[in-house]
Amino acid sequence: MRLWNFKYIISLIVILTVIAYAEAIDICPKYVSCQSGGGMGAVSIGTGWKYGGHCQWETELFAGLVPKYDSGSTKVSFALKENFIPWRIRLTRKLSLAPLTTSIYFTTLLCDRVWIRLPPRYPHGYYKLPTKIRANISLGQRIMWSLPMTSCVVESISLYYEIGTCDIYVLSAAGNKNIKPHDLLQLCIGVRIDFKR
């Protein structure tokens, strides 16, 4: 069995174990999301939990696919994300808008070509940051459609977008006049399904 197949199997087992444990202690995820971009891959699927006085805080876990592009193989990404939604505006009886969503999140790749410690083949200080973990921030908006009370499981469906950047983009731009502001940005577009509590 190839090493990367083994890594995918272990990752799936860990995800299923976390979900089973969450159900056992009644902390089941409150929604699922599917998105494209945002530094998590061409497509990523995640789940999350809402909490706080008005459910303004959210914690999410994502797994995504990064196509091989110019590298030798497709890669799997993982992300841990924290969102803060300061307020929501009701547009109609069924439509609501979150005019501002803020996020901070950390991404990693399941790949042996990225690292935490600088490999010996590079001189000391060649890379300022590890390539294994990226720190990201983003701002966005979300529109939510509440389903009728007759729906048995789904509470609402949301569409959202986020525009953000990551630590390596910001560091690369420092003192480099050739990098334009749009080179620093990454766009994410997604859909989310919230479950009834």
Residue, of 183 and 44, whose pLDDT is higher: 44
Q: How many helices (H) and strands (E) does the chain have?
A: 2, 9
pLDDT of residue 1: 45
Q: What is the mean pLDDT of the chain?
A: 85
Q: Band of the pLDDT at 187, cuts 50, 70, 90? A: very high
Question: For 85-90, which contacts have Cβ atoms below 8 Å and span 24 or more sequence positions?
Answer: 85/55, 85/56, 85/57, 85/58, 85/142, 86/56, 87/56, 88/54, 88/144
Entry pTM = 0.81
β-bridge pairing 75-84 and 95-110: antiparallel
In tens, the pLDDT along 76-126 reads 899 999 999 999 999 999 999 999 999 999 999 887 777 677 777 777 776
